Structure 1
Amino acid sequence: MSANADSGSVGPSLCKVDNLHQQVLASFPLCQMIREDLTQNPRFCKLLAMLSQHVECHGLTLKLEKELEMAERDLQTQRLRWLCSESLHRLLREMVFEHSVRKHLSNVPAEDDMFYETMKHNLLVGQCVRQLDLSDYFKQDSPPLLGLDAQQILDLASTQKDLWKTRQRLSRELEKHLLKKCFSLLSYYHPGDEREGVKNMKLLHLSGQLDGKIKRVVCLKGKSYESAALLQQQTCCYISELFGCIQILQSLILDHRLKAQKEIDKNKIEYFEAKCEIVIQKIRAEMMEIQLDTYTEDTISAHRKITEKLEAELKASQGEKHAVDSMLSSFEFFGKEFEVLAEEYSRLRQEIDTKNWALKEFSYPTN
């Protein structure tokens, strides 16, 4: 019984803790927390649970959230008012422009011309007044634009009678112009010649169709933004991976090139060595061929005889040299006195040779 009671008490407590964790994680989706973080920090989990009663999921307090909602509603209201005013102003300018085009193409009644001229004049006055109001708002300390104020511009507006006539007709003309634009828009979405009643029925459903298309365009635009962001993220990842692959490929190419370059250099060296050996053998063969062409058997035998004669003369010269060397050595025995006599003897021999040569020259008969 006690064991069952303990298990029953533990079960609800675990369920309560799990619900608390789920509540905290759901209340703060922007925080990158997991269930293990809350389990390891129970006090922090309780603090977040208490804080979730006063803070929205995106981090704003309840009071600030209400103020933000009121500001957004006020902004939406102001934006809607401005949009209505701007749309009406653009429609009126468009009507004036179309009237100017019709006036140049065909004759226009004087009443219509007066109506559109009055509307054009008052639109211009209203635009000038609005410009003066904006200049006064942004430059409160400076003088007004061109020294004018809004009342001076309003004095240039049309008379009350012309304004009253224009206002009475303006609603009808504006309704006709809007109906014409709606029919042109309808003919764009549903082209074809149909009756007036069918067009009116389709025109009633046109706004819903346009709303659906606008929502679809907004949805597709959001998806396109998400796709563009995802594409950009994937492109960055792809480029980073591509750079990594290029670096790996460069390292592989460099290693392979270094290893292959060693083999290539070795093969080149062996090739050049073989080529040099072939060139040397070819030179030797050419030299042998030249020798064979140059030295015949008779030439070789003559060279042998010349060699033998030169060797014999060389031996005789060497013998004479040996005898002269022995004589010189015996002359050196007499000392310096004999050296002086030898020099005198060589001088006398030189003079004798010179006089003999002169005597021969003078003894030749002259013509």
Structure 2
Amino acid sequence: MSGVTETASVSSLGKGDSLHHQVLAFFPLCDLTEEDLIQNPQFCKLLATLAQHVDQTGLTVPLKTELDKAEQKLQSQRRNWLRSETLHRGLQEMIQDHCVKKHHAAVPPDQTMFNETMEKCLLVAQCVRQLDLSSTTNQDQPSVLGLTPQHVMELMPSEKNVQRMRQSLPRQLEKHLKEKSLSILSYYQPEWESESEGLKTSKLSYLSAQLDKEKKRAESLKEFCRENTFLLQRQTQLYLSELTKCIQLFQSLILDHRLKIQTDLDLKKLEYFEGKCELVSQKIKTEMVEIQLDTYTPDSISAHRKIREKLEAELKACKADKQSVELKLSSFEILGKEFEALAEEYSRLKKEIELKNWALKEFTQYSEK
């Protein structure tokens, strides 16, 4: 039975894309997208079912009813408080205006008496309210300086002055409120300031309706701005999501394209460097040939050939002498250590002979001189 009810409630909202849009519109505070609802159809059905029992703020119908009643009661108490507060502030403004006028111009005695009486009555009433302990939870709370409301009531003006003040108070208060209303009207519509007082009074009667109309218009614009803000946030979110997907796709395309062309690029670079190395190698060989051509002329080449032939002939002769000396040395080595001692003795005697010949030669040179 509950499944049938749930299906009926879901079908009453819509199907497919219509259901997704209605769920998103009914729960604007949830950070959801249409893609989330498509990927989670059971969750979408759950939200569609909840939409039949709660409002857009998430409150149930009974709780919303109680909240509306409490709001109405609060508004009623607020209006009563604002009425009394407005009256009290109006009286204080009248007293302040009287003090300002008294310092700038002469004020009639009856007006002075009226304002002084009203000021004393307000002060006494305020003190009595502060000293009244009937509204406090602690009845044993000590009074301020031992005063009671009866002590403060003794400071009230005379009954005669109070009666006169009460008789003229509605007229004075009405005059003050009218002047204040006219100043508000002049602020709201500056072009009406030059018109007559009667016309201003007539237009003043429509001021409340106009202000209320302007307030409703401002609230509607505020609601419109809030809806546009929500729509802009959702569109921004969708835009960022799509932009992220496009960036990922673009990155994958770039990566694939780079991997495909990297091999061809490497081959091209390899061929280029191979060709460049071959060119440098040929250039080196060419430079070497040029250096050889500049260094070795035909005459120098023929001279080098003759020198080479002569050196080769001398080398051949030296090799032959070496071979003969090696044969003699090998024959001498056969004689053993006795021949080695004779050779050393022969070498020593030869050095002594050479030394004596050099000394004899030197001696002969000096003797001839």
- Quick check: 1:189 aligned with 2:189? yes
Matching residue's letter, 2:83: C
- Quick check: 1:288 aligned with 2:289? yes
Matching residue's letter, 2:85: E
Q: 2:212 maps to which residue?
A: 211
- Quick check: 1:78 aligned with 2:80? no
1:107 Cα deviation from its structure 2 partner: 1.5
Out of 326-335 and 147-156, give the one that drifted further.
147-156
1:246 Cα deviation from its structure 2 partner: 2.5
Identical amino acids, percent of aligned pairs = 51
Greater RCO structure (CA 8 Å; 6+ sep): 2
Q: Is the 8 Å Cα contact of residues 121 and 156 (structure 2) preserved in structure 1?
A: yes
Distance 1:65 1:290, change over 3 A: closer
Distance 1:126 1:350, change over 3 A: farther
1:141 Cα deviation from its structure 2 partner: 10
State how far apart, in whole Å, the 1-side matches of 2:167 and 2:241 are. 70
1:309 Cα deviation from its structure 2 partner: 1.2
Alignment of 1:61-100 (within 5 A): 61=62, 68=67, 70-99=69-98
1:315 Cα deviation from its structure 2 partner: 1.2
1:98 Cα deviation from its structure 2 partner: 4.5
Distance 1:332 1:22, change over 3 A: closer
Partner-residue secondary structure (3-state), 1:159: coil
1:125 Cα deviation from its structure 2 partner: 6.4
Matching residue's letter, 2:105: N
Q: 2:107 maps to which residue?
A: 109
Partner-residue secondary structure (3-state), 2:243: helix
Deviations 1:68-126 (A, max 9, x none): 5543332222111122223333434444455555556x324154556556656665666
Distance 1:22 1:356, change over 3 A: same
State how far apart, in whole Å, the 2-side matches of 1:198 and 1:108 are. 31
Partner-residue secondary structure (3-state), 2:332: helix
Distance 1:342 1:220, change over 3 A: same
TM-score (norm 1): 0.66
Q: Is the 8 Å Cα contact of residues 118 and 166 (structure 1) preserved in structure 2?
A: yes
Q: 2:236 maps to which residue?
A: 235
1:258 Cα deviation from its structure 2 partner: 3.6
State how far apart, in whole Å, the 1-side matches of 2:326 and 2:143 are. 135
Out of 322-331 and 210-219, give the one that drifted further.
322-331
Structure 2: runs of 5+ lacking an equivalent? 14-21, 28-41, 43-48
State how far apart, in whole Å, the 1-side matches of 2:127 and 2:252 are. 73
1:219 Cα deviation from its structure 2 partner: 1.5
Distance 1:291 1:241, change over 3 A: same
State how far apart, in whole Å, the 1-side matches of 2:176 and 2:122 are. 17
Q: 2:306 maps to which residue?
A: 305
State how far apart, in whole Å, the 2-side matches of 1:70 and 1:133 are. 32
1:359 Cα deviation from its structure 2 partner: 6.6
1:60 Cα deviation from its structure 2 partner: 4.5
Distance 1:316 1:234, change over 3 A: same
Distance 1:329 1:238, change over 3 A: same
State how far apart, in whole Å, the 2-side matches of 1:231 and 1:23 are. 27
Distance 1:343 1:194, change over 3 A: same
Deviations 1:274-313 (A, max 9, x none): 3333333333333333333333232222222211111111
Distance 1:227 1:300, change over 3 A: same
Matching residue's letter, 1:326: L
Q: Is the 8 Å Cα contact of residues 124 and 153 (structure 2) preserved in structure 1?
A: no
State how far apart, in whole Å, the 1-side matches of 2:88 and 2:220 are. 30
State how far apart, in whole Å, the 1-side matches of 2:119 and 2:154 are. 13
1:340 Cα deviation from its structure 2 partner: 4.9
Distance 1:300 1:185, change over 3 A: same
Q: 2:35 maps to which residue?
A: none
Q: 2:19 maps to which residue?
A: none
Deviations 1:257-283 (A, max 9, x none): 344444444333333333333333333
Q: 1:327 maps to which residue?
A: 328
State how far apart, in whole Å, the 2-side matches of 1:164 and 1:348 are. 170
Q: Is the 8 Å Cα contact of residues 99 and 116 (structure 1) preserved in structure 2?
A: yes
State how far apart, in whole Å, the 1-side matches of 2:278 and 2:170 are. 112
State how far apart, in whole Å, the 2-side matches of 1:71 and 1:299 are. 125
State how far apart, in whole Å, the 2-side matches of 1:146 and 1:362 are. 151
Partner-residue secondary structure (3-state), 2:191: coil
Matching residue's letter, 1:79: R
State how far apart, in whole Å, the 1-side matches of 2:239 and 2:64 are. 41
Out of 235-244 and 87-96, give the one that drifted further.
87-96
TM-score (norm 2): 0.66
Q: Is the 8 Å Cα contact of residues 128 and 153 (structure 1) preserved in structure 2?
A: no
Q: 1:13 maps to which residue?
A: none
Deviations 1:301-343 (A, max 9, x none): 2222211111111111121222223233333434454455445
Distance 1:284 1:77, change over 3 A: same
Distance 1:315 1:80, change over 3 A: same
Distance 1:324 1:65, change over 3 A: closer
Distance 1:149 1:308, change over 3 A: farther
1:212 Cα deviation from its structure 2 partner: 1.8
Partner-residue secondary structure (3-state), 1:191: helix
Q: Is the 8 Å Cα contact of residues 132 and 144 (structure 1) preserved in structure 2?
A: no
